[in-house]
């Protein structure tokens, strides 16, 4: 089982390049099957979730040509069937984007129901509600979602909860429905906008992405395109907090500062210096940081995917902070691991009360999910002594070359996959 071995205490200093946005790429790759022309996608992040989705697409007949680790050319003219195997949806929930894409193009789709997830139950009732309102018959049989329609027609859809996945999935199906569809109470995340821009580059007619009302005039056909994915604002924010927690000085490059506003505001509030450039931000933390209160909200509010990263940083801040997780019901599991490093934290329902301590101590901890795993790496980098992090496969799902990028900033971190390798590295750094 692969682990990270980390010796904390070094401030992170230097420059780091951010990769393409995983959550934009997952929607865009699925949407790419909606044309029979060839599509080329650039700036793909080379992470496990993307590679698994590409395998799932190949399994239904999409021709995938990897041009490099960050670009791919695809052709979906010969999709043999519209049923995606369970093994793929088990590996990544976002395979469910294939429902909206297949339904939009072929008016039928058969995809396994996504299971639960480490951070919450994550139902997809709103996705299915949207498909039904567009005219699809949706049934669930033997663990599969089967959606089919004679034809898809216009609809006026109100999403009960702001949902990134439902917004993207319904937008894809509506892009090739007849008539004029309005989706209200939409998610406004940058990756929703990126998927809409991608579909429009294929000839779709989508307006309002990035606001809470998206208006779509369906089209009969979509054509090929070449498209670069936007930078990953969550990867960027993760490195911004790594700089803050280790009292470092990091230039985070290849970002869109506007997408980072909530993160930047919080870093400034707790005492960091943050300097914005056209496509970079510089984070400097020279003194012990202060406490703050934060509540996760849909974009442009403070992102839930950045909640563990601020949580571990506040564990070292001066004073008491309150973190409220309003999106998912089980996103504080990392707090138990943090307590094992000496943090003074208490979780009550969807709120964590964090009383800052002077220092954290290295310990053996386990990554409970993707973002919490990355946050525990930040905690280990800020802690004194040596930490071992188990279950880092979660982290590799969404962070490209995570340890290499951290090493380039001065972190003492090694990925090992045996006790022997771990011992060797520990001896070397002790």
Q: Which residues are near ligand EPZ by CB under 6 A?
A: 23, 26, 94, 120, 122-127, 161, 163-166, 187, 304-305, 327-328, 370-371, 398
Nearer residue to ligand EPZ within complex by CB, 305 or 414: 305
Q: Which helix (H) or strand (E) holds 378?
A: helix 370-382
Nearer residue to ligand EPZ within complex by CB, 190 or 362: 190
Judge contact between 152 and 178, C-beta under 8 A: yes
CA angle 368–354–244, rounded 5-degree value: 75
Nearer residue to ligand EPZ within complex by CB, 104 or 308: 308
Judge contact between 355 and 344, C-beta under 8 A: yes
Q: Residue holding tokens 């992470």? A: 47
For residues 346, 348, 351 and 355, what is the CA-based torsion angle, rounded to 10 degrees? -20
Q: Which two tokens stand for residue 396?
A: 């590799």
Judge contact between 135 and 152, C-beta under 8 A: yes
Cα distances (Å, whole numbers) of residue 110 to 224, 332, 386:
24, 34, 48
Q: What are the DSSP calls for 234-280, one per residue?
A: HHHHHHHHHHHHTT-EEEEES--GGGGHHHHHHHHHTT-EEEE-SSE
Q: Which of 305, 287, 295, 296 is nearest to 244 (CA)?
A: 287
Task: Find the shortest distance in angstroms from Cβ 114 to ligand EPZ.
Answer: 9
Q: What are the DSSP calls for 86-124, one per residue?
A: HHHHHH-GGGGHHHHHHHHHHSEEEEEPP--BTTB----
272 is catalytic: no
Residue ranges of alpha helices (H) inside 270-326 are 307-314
Task: Find the shortest distance in angstroms from Cβ 302 to ligand EPZ.
Answer: 11
Residue nearest to ligand EPZ (CB): 165
Catalytic hit among 117, 140, 213, 265: 117
Task: Find the shortest distance in angstroms from Cβ 311 to ligand EPZ.
Answer: 14
Q: Which two tokens stand for residue 412?
A: 């003492």
Nearer residue to ligand EPZ within complex by CB, 100 or 257: 100
Q: Helices 233-245 and 261-269, interaxial angle, to 10°?
A: 10
Nearer residue to ligand EPZ within complex by CB, 189 or 412: 189
Pairing relation of β-strands 3-7 and 213-217?
A: unpaired
**Helix, strand, coil percentages, rounded to 5, for the chain:** 35, 25, 35
CA angle 294–300–304, rounded 5-degree value: 50
107: left (phi over 0), alpha (psi -120 to 50) or beta: left
Task: Find the shortest distance in angstroms from Cβ 238 to ligand EPZ.
Answer: 10
Beta bridge partners of 6: 387, 413
Judge contact between 42 and 35, C-beta under 8 A: no
Nearer residue to ligand EPZ within complex by CB, 161 or 418: 161
Task: Find the shortest distance in angstroms from Cβ 319 to ligand EPZ.
Answer: 28
Task: Find the shortest distance in angstroms from Cβ 92 to ligand EPZ.
Answer: 8
Q: Which two tokens stand for residue 35?
A: 């044309």
Nearer residue to ligand EPZ within complex by CB, 26 or 316: 26
Task: Find the shortest distance in angstroms from Cβ 385 to ligand EPZ.
Answer: 28
Task: Find the shortest distance in angstroms from Cβ 362 to ligand EPZ.
Answer: 25
Residues with a known catalytic role: 117
């Amino acid at each position: 089982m692969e682990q990270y071995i980390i010796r904390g205490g070094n401030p992170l200093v230097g420059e780091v390049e951010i990769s393409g946005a995983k959550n934009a790429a997952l929607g865009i790759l699925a949407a790419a099957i909606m044309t029979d022309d060839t599509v080329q996608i650039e700036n793909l992040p080379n992470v496990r979730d993307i590679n698994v989705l590409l395998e799932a697409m190949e399994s239904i007949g999409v021709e995938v040509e990897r041009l490099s680790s960050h670009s791919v050319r695809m052709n979906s003219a010969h999709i043999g069937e519209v049923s995606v195997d369970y093994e793929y949806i088990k590996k990544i929930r976002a395979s469910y984007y294939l429902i909206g894409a297949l339904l939009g193009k072929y008016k039928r789709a058969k995809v396994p129901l996504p299971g639960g997830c480490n951070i919450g139950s994550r139902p997809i009732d709103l996705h299915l509600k949207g498909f039904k309102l567009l005219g699809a018959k949706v049934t669930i049989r033997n663990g599969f979602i089967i959606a089919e329609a004679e034809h898809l027609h216009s609809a006026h859809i109100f999403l009960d909860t702001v949902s990134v996945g439902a917004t993207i999935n319904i937008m894809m199906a509506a892009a090739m429905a007849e008539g004029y569809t309005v989706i209200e109470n939409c998610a406004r995340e940058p990756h929703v906008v990126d998927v809409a821009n991608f579909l429009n580059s294929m000839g779709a007619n989508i307006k309002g992405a990035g606001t809470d009302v998206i208006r779509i005039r369906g089209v009969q056909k979509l054509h090929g395109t070449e498209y670069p994915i936007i930078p990953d604002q969550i990867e960027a924010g993760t490195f911004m907090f790594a700089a803050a927690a280790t009292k470092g000085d990091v230039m985070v490059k290849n970002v869109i500062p506007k997408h980072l506003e909530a993160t930047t505001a919080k870093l400034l509030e707790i005492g960091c210096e943050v300097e914005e450039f056209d496509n970079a931000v510089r984070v400097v933390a020279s003194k012990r940081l202060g406490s703050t209160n934060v509540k996760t909200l849909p974009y442009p509010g403070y992102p839930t995917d950045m909640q563990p990263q601020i949580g571990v940083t506040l564990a070292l801040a001066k004073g008491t902070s309150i973190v409220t997780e309003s999106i998912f019901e089980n996103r504080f599991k990392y707090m138990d691991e943090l307590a094992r490093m000496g943090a003074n934290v208490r979780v009550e329902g969807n709120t964590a009360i964090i009383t800052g301590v002077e220092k954290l101590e290295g310990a053996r901890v386990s990554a409970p999910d993707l973002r919490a795993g990355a946050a525990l790496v930040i905690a280990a980098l800020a802690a004194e002594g040596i930490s071992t992090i188990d279950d880092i496969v979660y982290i590799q799902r969404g962070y490209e070359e995570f340890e290499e990028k951290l090493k380039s900033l001065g972190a003492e971190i090694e990925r090992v996959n045996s006790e022997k390798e771990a011992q060797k590295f520990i001896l070397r750094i002790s």
